[in-house]
Amino acid sequence: MSSKRILMITGDFTEDYETMVPFQALMAVGHRVDAVCPGKASGDTVATAIHDFEGDQTYSEKPGHRFALNADFAGTNPADYDALVVPGGRAPEYLRLDKDVLAMVRHFFETNKPVAAICHGAQLLAAANVLEGKQCSAYPACQPEVELAGGHFANLKVTDAVTDGNLVTAPAWPAHPAWLAQFMALLNKQS
């Protein structure tokens, strides 16, 4: 496996596990992961939230950790990266309003580079208009956005993930083993 340079776009109230786990797991196997957030620089932090599934009609939300960014958003060039990770949580809800974020996301689809999005990360993909004809899993409440963007919502068990071309998606953090394994398989296929 050759080391890849991976961009992670995140923001305040990103889901804690969906940010920390892929960030650390991908680095543990030798990849470089640059975590960025619009309006923030390397060394700044974003607040995280822990979403849990406790039998209520939707997930519960609890305060998470402070996640330290390790790269500057300003000047980030997506062409310098081999792949993209989009965590879920509440961050995609407002990140999708940033034209520079949307342009970065589109770059990875236009160049057919691997993209891993989880949970509410589909909101960012839908806003970037990159889901046309693609299978995409997400937190079930995001199904309308996936379908309105022309995607095919993959209604998976919370522990499953789906790959469609360069895109790997999953409903939520309980799918980390499947989601990360499928994403790493795509990374390994890259020359």
The model's pLDDT over 140-159, given as tens digits with 9 standing for 90+, comes to: 999 999 999 999 999 999 99
pLDDT band at 190, cuts 50/70/90?
confident
- Residue 137 reports pLDDT greater than 80: yes
What CATH number is associated with residue 100? 3.40.50.880
pLDDT tens figures, 96-132: 999 999 999 999 999 999 999 999 999 999 999 999 9
CA 184, CA 56: separation in Å to the nearest integer? 33
Whole-number pLDDT of residue 1: 63
Angle (CA) 45-66-16 rounded to 5° is 115
CB 6 within 8 A of CB 81: yes
Per-chain mean pLDDT for the chain:
97
Residue 50: predicted pLDDT: 96
pLDDT-based confidence at residue 172 (cuts at 50, 70, 90): very high
Q: Which tokens is 26 given?
A: 């991908």
Segment 18-30 shows an average pLDDT of: 98
Element (H, E) at 187: helix 176-189
**pLDDT value, residue 53:** 87
Q: Name the DSSP class of 69.
A: P
Model confidence at 46, pLDDT cuts 50, 70, 90, reads very high
What pLDDT, on the 0 to 100 scale, is given for residue 7?
99
pLDDT score at 116: 99
Rounded to an integer, what distance in angstroms lies between the CA atom of residue 60 and that of residue 17? 14
Residue 89 domain boundaries: 5-190
The total number of structural domains that make up the chain: 1
Phi-psi region of 97 (alpha: psi -120 to 50; beta: other; left: phi over 0): alpha
Identify the weakest region by mean pLDDT among 2-11, 129-138, 182-191.
Answer: 182-191
What was the pLDDT predicted at 37? 98
Interacting residues of 99 by C-beta distance below 8 A, sequence separation 6+: none
Task: Provide the whole-model pTM.
Answer: 0.97
